Structure formats: structure tokens, C-alpha cells
Structure 1
Amino acid sequence: MDNNLRLAKEIMSHVGGVGNIASLNHCSTRLRLRVNHEENFDVEAIKKIDGVLDVVKAIGGFQIIVGNNVSKVYAAIVANYDVKVGEEGGRVAGNVFGVVLNVLSDIMGPAVPAIVAAGLFSALATIGKLLGLAEESTTYQIIYSVSQAPLYFLPFIVAYTSAKHWKLNPVMTIALAGVLNYPSFTALVETGTPITLFGLPVTAASYASSLIPMILTCWAMSYVNRFIEKYCPDSIRYVMVPFLTMMVMVPVMLCVTGPAGSWVGTLMSYVITWMNNTMPGAAVLVVGIITPFLVLTGSHLALLPLVMTEFATLGFDGILFPAFIGMNFSQFAVSLAVFLKAKNKSLKSTAFSTGITAFLTGTTEPALYGLCLRLKKPLIATFIGCAANGLYCAITRIVTYAFGAPGFFTMLNFLDPTGARPNNFYLSLGAVAVTIIVTFAATWLLGFDESGFEDETKKADSAPKKA
């Protein structure tokens, strides 16, 4: 039996039945499930499955960490079980702040691959310039276009992912995003003259590269669309539901949710500017210290609106991705120390694979859950390494110029394409060195008890194999 199919079947045998899954989705390393009855979801049994790194209780559901093969496990579940895929658009229990973080993570998660690819193309454009590629050349222009397109059209991407979250028609939400970015409307905004719709005042704001306005618009649309569908007769539903939805949502978007989202973005910009002017480096230091906690709880994606605001207003990010140099390369350092110090062959093998993954791609969950949580003390070393990186970044004020989790393939994002910070890239390599050295030393000195890992390995080896 294919290993991904085997893992999918074993997971499904402990979730409380197919009917207990309210929704199923995945990110880069985790299956994200919302369940109807948590008491029927056997967390401990799932944790013991060979191939499952851990199970985390999150706002409104569970996250099963399985590593880089998560998409294949997800596909195996969808192919063999009648589960509700995508994010559930219903109400989620929990405090308001936690629910907002969870919604942002759900919406931004599917958008990350396109934005990461754009970041890599941005690095290619910068390298091309350094090697003498003329900015006027068509090759450079195309590469640069690829690097900017996902960010410029972010409202359309977010419109789609928000539609998936709130169970809306994605074509309708994309059409609304088109209204905000249509040339005629943007031309009205640029004239600076007052804009009205049916006598209602329309805020003159640019919505290119923004995401919060569309998130708020789609949230409001989920209520409007539900109300219209409930009361619209079946005989005219096909035509009237989309028409009435647009009739209501265009004024709401232009006069309420769009401006509100724009104001939130402006406020975030002011806060970032204030922090950078009054407490230089404080934000990256704080975020650097708590990055392991953010990843453990799966809430790091909720900070992406902050990053996008930085890129839109400053042209770079000086908080999240510099802080994540510590998170990502600390897991390489932990893996390297465990690989060199451990005696258990299975543990060495795990450390080798998790270290390569963290170093090359910046994917940390395999090391974080496969090593740090199991061996305990390496998690302390991780916090120490992240704090050291946060302090270093606070002092050196390094920034990144393109979107992408820090790793071997994305460190070129720290190259300054403008030339204003010629030492930025070299200082970022210094952050990598500080993180690796401090975390490796802390892991080595604190040590770890590998007997628990040995016991788990023996249990896995002695467990009866399923057909």
C-alpha cells in the first residue's frame, strides 16, 4: 500500500468518522480539520501513527502535522472519503482575537505559494541587474512583471481564497475585486475630485496590492448572499441572486468595507512607522522571541497582512522575515547538533532529513515537531537561538525586499535592488551565522534525552502492520 494512502487511512480511522469532519484543508505541512464533536476525535491515537509528527489544538479545530508530503495525504483522503473539503464558513467558537487570527491564516495560507514564487523571481531580477542585465531589456521586464504580478493583483487572489473560506462564488468575489481595480475607477481616484454613488460618498482610495478591503468585503458578502439566496424564488434565482448581490455589495464595498479596510491598512502603516521611529528594532526583537510559539500554534500566517502593509508602504519588510531567520535556521542548527550527538540511528536519520528541509526551504515543522517537542530541551535551544537572532536584527536593522520564508533558496531576497543598503545581504548572512552558532551551542550544551525517542521507535517497530 502507498505510504500516503496508509497514513490517510490510519488518520481517518481515529477522527470519529467521516461525518465528524466539518471541513478539511491543508497548508505546507499540516492537515487542518474542523470537527463537529471534539470528544470523538482521538488525538492521542493519531499522535502515535507512524508519519504523524504531532497534533495541535487550534482555534476552531485541529492541525495534524505530517510534513512535506501533506498534499499527497490530503489528496488520498479526498479521493477515498466523502469529506467536506475547504474551510468551513460557519461560526467558529473562541475569543474574537483568536477567531480573527484563524480566519486570516485560512485565507492567506492558499495565497502563499504564488507570493513566494514572486519573491524568488524578484531575487532573479536583482541578480540579473547585478550581472549586467539591462532594466530596459524585455527579459528583465518580463522577470520583473512575474515578480510583481501576484502582489499587484493580491486583491483578486484574496477574493478567491476568501470565497473558498466563506463558501461564496469565487467568480463573484473576483468581479468585486475587479470593480476596485478597474481603470475607470482608479482614474476617478487619481483625479482627487469627490466621488459619489447614488448620492453616497465614496472614499477615494487605491486598492491595488491591498488585501484587507477584500477580506472585509467577502465577509460582508457572506451575509448578504445568504440572505438573498434564502428569499429569492427558485424560478429567477440564476439571474437575480448574482444581480441583487452585486447591487447590494458594490455600494457596501465602495462606501463601507473598502474604506474600512483601507483605514486599517493606513493605521498599520502608521503603527509600523511609529515603532521604527521611536523604538528602532523593538518589533523584530519581540517577534523574533515569539516565533517558535507562532509556528507551534500555526498562527504565523496571520501576520502576513502586516508584512504586505510593509511592502506596500515601505518597499521592504523589516519585522517578520528577518525574525524568521532565527526560526528557520535554528531548526537546521538543532537538527545538525542532534545528528552529530545522537546515538540512535533512527533519530540521526530524522535529524538529517529535518535539517536539510529547514536549511533549503525554511520549512521548520518537521524539525520542530519531530525533534524539539519530542526531545524537549532542543525547544529551549530554539527559543534561545531565535532571541539571539531577534537581538541581532534589532541592532543591524536588516530588511528583506521580497516575500519568502528565509532559507537557502530565498536569502537572495535580502539583496537590495536599489543599492541603498549595500551591506544588507551580508548582514543577513550574519544573522544566519548567529542563529546557527547560538542554537547549535545551546542544543549541544543543554543536551537531550533520546531514550523517549527510542521507546517511540520500538513501539512503532513492534506495532502490528495494517494491511
Structure 2
Amino acid sequence: AVTSARKFGANQFVAMTVAGALIYPTIIQLKTDAVTTTFFGIPVTMMSYTSTVIPIILAVWVMSYVEKFFNRHVHESVKNFVTPLIALITIVPLTLIVFGPIGVTSGDLIAAFILKVLAFNPILAGAFIAGVWQVLVIFGIHWGVVPIFINNIATKGYDYIKPATAPAIFAQAGASFGVMLRSKNKKLKTLAGSTGITALFGITEPAVYGVTLRLKRPFIAAVISAAVGGGIVGHFGSVAVASGPPGLLTLPVFIGDSMTAFYGLLIGVGVSFFLSMVLTYILGFEDDPIEKEAEKNVRASTDMTIPSPVSGQIVSLEKVSDSVFASGAMGQGFAVVPTEGKVIAPVSGQVTAIFASKHAIGIRSENGMEILIHVGIDTVRLDGTHFELHVAQDQKIEPGDVLITFDIESIQAEGYDIITPVIFTNLSEERHITIDQDQISVSEYNKPAFA
């Protein structure tokens, strides 16, 4: 309930209350006693929700739309308690009558279908799942499969699908190490080595987006190698008995009743890793994309002074509650507590990135400086509500052009922090930012970080 609410932008506390209703003792007893149950004359098919995940995901997804509708139409003075009340009295009955039975039944059917495929030809099933897994991850589609893992483990005590994803993880690690061994570009070798280590522990995004997909051939090598390893895992009938991203530290989650199946998984991921590394080395790749990126970073070493793109109180990034921004992992910058719902272009340049949710924008100045302006924290969940975008991708901009307008009060009323990070994403290492309440300067590293 909590993670679904975060994903869909719903109230987490109301989502937990809906989940609590599904597992309330008297509701469970109705299922246990096989009592005929109706709701205002509508028959209710009682299900057991104590070990399911799909029903609550469906419920919270629908609830997110109910909340957004009533937050827009209920008066500010009462919506903080009226909207949750309406959400509860509509979503709980709907879940028990509609979403719950659909979710439980569909989850069982999907799991049964996949198990039948695995039983029919586990080698082909394992190869297919492992081969397409990282492609699904790129598009975010894999999150639709994850609940099936969890549901199988919760209801059956094991899952056959999750082990087939492990070779895909190790194949990306192998491809990264293959790039490290072959590349003559010092920066690329360092990047590939570090992201390869990260991938070995289950986090493949840095390797995929920073190395393999970017260079194309290593990603293809990883997909082929993952399919080979997935076929091996499928052949041995490996299982997962607990959740966790596949990686070196989580290999014990694949120890089931059969040690032979576990050894088969180890063979599968090992083959995927080494085959991917060798194929990447043989197929080769072009170092130029990384060189061009380095050239772009060099261009961003020019001194410049700009106004804040958002009116308000300027604070250091450390004040931002999001650790990714606060740590400087995305780059140097500052944050603004807005007093006006408007983002203004601080430089002449071009729009390089726009988001469907309208909450953030990327621009590049004429001298190559790249700036990301991100309105609020987690406001992507609002899906564009309370935001208006006034420019298009690749549009030329001049200082003072309006980029985004947003409703500060409405965003805050929905429980979001409105603090706005402004990040310089491609500063060279010898540059530093000096900030006061009137202007922001980028220059040689010879001043305090915050003036």
C-alpha cells in the first residue's frame, strides 16, 4: 500500500487504511466461515488478502485518481479530511466487491500460466525471461512482473520466475567489465569498472545507462549471454524463496529445497557473466560517445554569472530532503524555496529535456553549461497536475522566457515539498558555484561554497 501510494501519488495513510480494511479480523473471518456476504444487495465474493499484493495495487491506483479529482474540486478549508473520507467510503467497498477478486484471480491465473510455460519447456522460458528482462527494465515494464514474484513467494513459498532474471543482472556486469578490459579511454575504463561492480550487487542502472546501452554492442552481448544463462537456470528448475534484487549478496534467496537447483543458478549466472564479458571484448564498441561527452564537459568550464531561475529564498542543496540532490550526486547547485510559481530562463540557450509530468526541465546555455531545474520533491507523482509547460523540446530560449508555471499552494496542499533544486549537471571539477540572494556565479575553485 505504501509503495503503491508513493508510485501513484496517493495519500500513504489512506492507502494503509484501505489495506488494513482488507485484512481486518472480521473480514478475514467472513472468508474463513464461508458466510454469504452482500453490500447493499450486491454479492461480495470474499477472498483472502493476507498474502496478496495485486488487489491493493489496483485499489491504490484507482484511489489516486479519486483523490486528485476531489482535491481539485473540494474547498481548501475542508479537503484535508473530506477527500480521505470520500476515498475510504468508495475504495474499500469497491476493492472488496471488484478489485480484490479481480486482483487475486488475475494474479493466480498469471502465475499459473507462467508456471505452465516453465513446466512445458523451462529452458526456453528461462532464456526468454532472462533475455528480455533488461529491456523491460529500460522501459519500466518490469514493475508489472515484480508483484508476481512477491505473490508467488507469499502464497506458494517459492517462485520460478525471479531466478531467470538473475543472469540478466550478471550479464550486464560482465559486459561492463568487458568494456573496461577493451577500452583505451581512461575515463570509460574507470566508469565501466565501477558500474560493473555495482551491477554485481544487483544495481544495473549505472552500467546500463552509463556504459552498455550507451555503447550498444555491449548491451546486445549482455542480452544474448543472459538468455544462455537463463536457459541453464530454467533447466535446473531454480527457485527464489525470498525477495531482493539478484546479486552477490542476495544469492542465498535462491537456496530452496534442492541444492542442485541452486548450483544450477550459480552456473547460469556464471556463464552469463563470463560469456557477456568475452562477447563484449570480441564484438568491440566505439569509444567516441564517451569522448564527445568529455568534450561537452570541457565546454562547461567557462566562468558565468546568472540570476536564479525561480524567485524565492536561495538555500544550499543540503537543505533538500531528497538525498540524491542533497548529496550532490547529480551535480553542484543550489535550491530555492519559491515565493512565485514561475520558472524563468536564466540564460540564452536551448531546452534539452522536458518531462511529461511538467515538473522539471533541462536547458543548456550557449557556452555549454547544462542546468536542471526540478520543481518540488517527488512532484513527478502529480503527473502534471498544477503545472503548465510553456516551451518545447529543443526550443531556443532567452533570459526571462517563462519555462514553467506552477500552483504553489495546490502542490503543498497535496503534501509535497515545494523546494526547487537547480543543478549544474556538467561542471568540470575545477569549477565551483558561489551563491548569494541576488546572483549565482560559476568560476574557478577559489571561493567558499556558499557566500
TM superposition score normalised by structure 2:
0.61
CA displacement at 1:225 relative to structure 2: 4.5
Contact 1:386–1:435 (CA under 8 A) maintained in structure 2: yes
Q: Does 1:383 align with 2:223?
A: yes
Superposed CA offset, 1:115-148 (max 9, x none): xxxxxxxxxxxxxxxxxxxxxxxxxxxxxxxxxx
Counterpart position of 2:430: none
CA displacement at 1:179 relative to structure 2: 1.0
The letter for the 1-side match of 2:175 is: V
Counterpart position of 1:362: 202
Alignment of 1:122-271 (within 5 A): 159-225=1-67, 241-271=83-113
Q: Does 1:447 align with 2:288?
A: no
Contact 2:118–2:126 (CA under 8 A) maintained in structure 1: no
Alignment of 1:52-71 (within 5 A): none
Partners of 1:375 and 1:326 in 2: CA distance: 20
- SS of residue in 2 equivalent to 1:296: helix
Contact 1:377–1:447 (CA under 8 A) maintained in structure 2: yes
**Higher relative contact order at CA 8 Å, sep ≥6: structure 1 or structure 2?**
1
Structure 1 residues 445 and 235, CA gap change in structure 2 (3 angstroms):
closer
Q: Does 1:421 align with 2:258?
A: yes
Structure 1 residue corresponding to 2:191, chosen from 350, 356, 380? 350
Structure 1 residue ranges without an equivalent (≥5): 1-158
- SS of residue in 2 equivalent to 1:423: helix
Structure 1 residues 344 and 258, CA gap change in structure 2 (3 angstroms):
same
Contact 1:294–1:300 (CA under 8 A) maintained in structure 2: yes
- SS of residue in 1 equivalent to 2:129: helix
- Which protein is richer in strand relative to its size? 2
Partners of 1:195 and 1:204 in 2: CA distance: 8
Counterpart position of 1:317: 159
Counterpart position of 1:35: none
- SS of residue in 1 equivalent to 2:47: coil
CA displacement at 1:178 relative to structure 2: 0.7
Structure 1 residues 372 and 183, CA gap change in structure 2 (3 angstroms):
same
Partners of 1:370 and 1:223 in 2: CA distance: 35
Q: Does 1:306 align with 2:148?
A: yes
Superposed CA offset, 1:169-198 (max 9, x none): 322221111111011211221112222333
Aligned residues: 304
The letter for the 2-side match of 1:344 is: N
Partners of 2:203 and 2:192 in 1: CA distance: 14
The letter for the 2-side match of 1:253 is: T
Contact 2:55–2:103 (CA under 8 A) maintained in structure 1: yes
Structure 2 residue corresponding to 1:372, chosen from 212, 219, 238? 212
Structure 1 residues 449 and 253, CA gap change in structure 2 (3 angstroms):
closer
Structure 1 residues 433 and 241, CA gap change in structure 2 (3 angstroms):
closer
CA displacement at 1:203 relative to structure 2: 1.2
- SS of residue in 1 equivalent to 2:38: strand
> How many percent identity over aligned positions?
36
Structure 1 residues 273 and 299, CA gap change in structure 2 (3 angstroms):
closer
Counterpart position of 2:116: 274
Structure 1 residues 224 and 463, CA gap change in structure 2 (3 angstroms):
closer
Counterpart position of 1:430: 267
Structure 1 residue corresponding to 2:244, chosen from 404, 416, 425? 404
Contact 1:372–1:379 (CA under 8 A) maintained in structure 2: yes
Structure 2 residue corresponding to 1:291, chosen from 133, 146, 149? 133
The letter for the 2-side match of 1:389 is: G
Contact 2:178–2:277 (CA under 8 A) maintained in structure 1: yes
Partners of 1:292 and 1:180 in 2: CA distance: 34
Structure 1 residues 407 and 191, CA gap change in structure 2 (3 angstroms):
same
- SS of residue in 2 equivalent to 1:409: helix
RMSD over aligned Cα, in angstroms? Answer: 2.6
CA displacement at 1:253 relative to structure 2: 1.9
Partners of 2:210 and 2:78 in 1: CA distance: 55
Superposed CA offset, 1:35-77 (max 9, x none): xxxxxxxxxxxxxxxxxxxxxxxxxxxxxxxxxxxxxxxxxxx
Structure 1 residues 273 and 387, CA gap change in structure 2 (3 angstroms):
closer
- SS of residue in 2 equivalent to 1:442: helix
- SS of residue in 1 equivalent to 2:286: coil
